[in-house]
Structure 1
Amino acid sequence: MGPADRPGGAVLDAVLFDMDGTLVDSERVWGIALTELAVHAGGTLSETARLAMVGTSMALSMQIFRDDLGQPDRPEAPDVTWLTDRVFELFGDGLVWRPGAAELLLAVRAAGIPTALVTSTGRRLAEVALKTIGAENFDAVVCGDEVDKPKPDPEPYLRAAELLGVDITRCVAIEDSPSGTASALAAGAAVLAVPAELELPPTVGVHLRSSLVGVDLPFLAALLSR
Structure 2
Amino acid sequence: MPSPAAPGSPAIPSRVQAVFWDLDGTLVDTEPYWIAAELQLVERFDGYWSEELGRGLVGNALPASAAVLQQAGVRLEIREIIDELIGSVIEQVRHRIPWRPGARELLAELCDAGIPTALVTMSEKLLAQEIVERLPAGSFGHLVTGDMVANGKPHPEPYLRAVEHLSGVRPGVDKSRIIALEDSLPGASSAQAAGLVTVAIPHVVQVPDDPGRHRWDSLAGRGLADLEALVTGEAAPQAEAAVPRGTA
- Output the TM-score relative to the length of structure 2: 0.83
Q: Deviations over 1:4-31 (max 9, x none)?
A: 34xxxxx211000111000111111111
Identical-residue share of aligned pairs (%): 38
1:101 correspondence with 2:110: no
The one-letter code of the counterpart of 2:50 is S
Which of 160, 163, 166 is the equivalent residue of 2:162? Answer: 160
- Indicate the SS of the match to 2:198: strand
Which of 186, 191, 203 is the equivalent residue of 2:198? Answer: 191
Which of 21, 24, 27 is the equivalent residue of 1:20? Answer: 24
The one-letter code of the counterpart of 2:90 is F
Which of 135, 138, 142 is the equivalent residue of 1:136? Answer: 138
Asked if the contact 1:115–1:140 (Cα under 8 Å) also holds between the matched residues in 2, the reply is yes
Tell me what 2:36 maps to.
32
1:81 Cα deviation (Å)? 2.4
Structure 1, gaps ≥5 residues long: 6-10
Tell me what 1:4 maps to.
13
Tell me what 1:48 maps to.
52
Asked if the contact 1:172–1:220 (Cα under 8 Å) also holds between the matched residues in 2, the reply is yes
Higher relative contact order (CA 8 A, sep 6+): 1
1:89 Cα deviation (Å)? 1.3
In 1, the alpha carbon distance for the partners of 2:90 and 2:114 equals 31
Tell me what 1:8 maps to.
none
1:161 Cα deviation (Å)? 1.3
Greater Cα offset, 171-180 or 192-201:
192-201
Greater Cα offset, 29-38 or 100-109:
29-38
In 2, the alpha carbon distance for the partners of 1:158 and 1:58 equals 19
- Indicate the SS of the match to 2:59: coil
1:39 Cα deviation (Å)? 1.4
Equivalent residues in 2 for 1:37-76, closer than 5 Å: 37-67=41-71, 69=72, 71=73, 75-76=77-78
Tell me what 1:176 maps to.
183
Q: Deviations over 1:57-109 (max 9, x none)?
A: 11111122223x2x387532332222222222112223111011111000111
- Output the TM-score relative to the length of structure 1: 0.91
The one-letter code of the counterpart of 1:47 is E
In 2, the alpha carbon distance for the partners of 1:188 and 1:172 equals 10
Q: CA RMSD of the aligned region, Å?
A: 1.7
Asked if the contact 1:170–1:189 (Cα under 8 Å) also holds between the matched residues in 2, the reply is yes
Asked if the contact 2:42–2:74 (Cα under 8 Å) also holds between the matched residues in 1, the reply is no
The one-letter code of the counterpart of 1:46 is S
Which of 194, 210, 214 is the equivalent residue of 1:207? Answer: 214
Asked if the contact 2:60–2:186 (Cα under 8 Å) also holds between the matched residues in 1, the reply is yes
In 2, the alpha carbon distance for the partners of 1:45 and 1:119 equals 24
The one-letter code of the counterpart of 1:37 is L
Asked if the contact 1:94–1:132 (Cα under 8 Å) also holds between the matched residues in 2, the reply is no
In 2, the alpha carbon distance for the partners of 1:202 and 1:77 equals 34
- Indicate the SS of the match to 1:137: coil
Asked if the contact 1:21–1:27 (Cα under 8 Å) also holds between the matched residues in 2, the reply is yes
Asked if the contact 1:20–1:27 (Cα under 8 Å) also holds between the matched residues in 2, the reply is yes
Give the length in aligned residue pairs. 219
Asked if the contact 1:158–1:168 (Cα under 8 Å) also holds between the matched residues in 2, the reply is no
Greater Cα offset, 28-37 or 111-120:
28-37
